[in-house]
Structure 1
Amino acid sequence: MKAVCKWVQQYGPLLGRLLLANLFIVSGFKKIAGFAGTAGYMAKVMPALDPNLVNIMLALTIAIELGGGLMILVGWQARWAAAAILLWMIPVTYLFHAYWGLPPDQMQAQFIQFQKNMAIMGALLFVVAQGPGPCSLGKDNC
């Protein structure tokens, strides 16, 4: 049992970062591939915004997801990356998963997405608090 605990302490943070970062890296690449469609969806959710501003916000979103995801993955400045993504997720979750104002047939799906984002924010907060752990860029203790 002691060997298992040691293994988890050594490699658990790396696997956790991989799983967490994967979500943001894949999402960032999908937004690049479907830039026009994603911008259109964002414009529907925020109709008061100028289309140029929507494109700028989408480009920033891609930079946060890809850049932050890669930083968390390799463990370089992971606390700062996790903090940036966490702060970005607060308005994103509120705007894009506002389940409380939806008809009952749409409410459950958005409630699940809202709760998923809350759990992801918890994981990000854990990285902010604990750092990337062993097996991260700049560490030679793996």
Structure 2
Amino acid sequence: MIFAIETAALQTFDGAFADELFLVARILFGGVIAFIGLNHFLNLEEMAGYAEYKGAPAPTLSVGASGVVLVLGGLAVALGAFPTLAAGALAGFLVVATPMMHDFWAVPEDQRQDELNSFLKNVGLLGMTVLLLAVSTVEWPYAVGVGLV
């Protein structure tokens, strides 16, 4: 017997309070991402030192640029503005930064658990960005309604 998985195009957010729950999820996720980005600026020297230790190119510039991506991407997700661009930029950042900055497999034993926790946190955040990309072409409820699509 061959099993088939059928998919249907997502047209709307159906279900009781689906629109409101999606808005709350966007605000929580986007707010956390924007706050992480803000910390890139508030702790620029410390984070640039860590980025240099991890081998990031142009560490101060890298931390500042990633802070911009995180703040703007997070705010755009929360507001529902440019959803494809915002989710794509956040996913790109996470795909690059996660293995570079949280290489738990290559650190001394006493640092391994902290790096593993940060790695897994970022993988979870990446999962959310992929989900947002999947629904980025659908009209988001309670969104400002600007985008590239």
Tell me the TM-score normalized by structure 2.
0.80
* Residue deviations 1:60-116 (CA, integer Å, cap 9, x gap): 111101111111110001121011110111120001110111222221221121111
Shift, 1:138, TM fit:
2.3
Among 140, 143, 149, the residue aligned to 1:136: 143
Alignment of 1:1-142 (within 5 A): 5-7=15-17, 9-46=18-55, 49=57, 53-131=58-136, 133-138=140-145
Distance in 2 (alpha carbons) for counterparts of 1:27 and 1:119? 15
Quote the RMSD (CA, aligned, Å): 1.7
* Residue deviations 1:32-68 (CA, integer Å, cap 9, x gap): 1121221122111117x4xxx2222122111101111
Distance in 1 (alpha carbons) for counterparts of 2:25 and 2:114? 26
Letter paired with 1:30: N
| Residue in 1 that maps onto 2:6 | none
| Structure 1: 4+ residue segments shifted above 6 A | none
SS in 1 for 2:143: coil
* Larger RCO, structure (CA 8 Å, separation 6 or more): 1
Distance in 2 (alpha carbons) for counterparts of 1:97 and 1:13? 30
Distance in 2 (alpha carbons) for counterparts of 1:96 and 1:12? 32
Relative to its length, the structure with more helix (as a share) is 1
Deviates more, 1:107-116 or 1:90-99: 107-116
Q: Which ranges in structure 2 are unaligned for 5 or more consecutive residues?
A: 1-14
Letter paired with 1:115: L
Letter paired with 2:16: K
SS in 1 for 2:124: helix
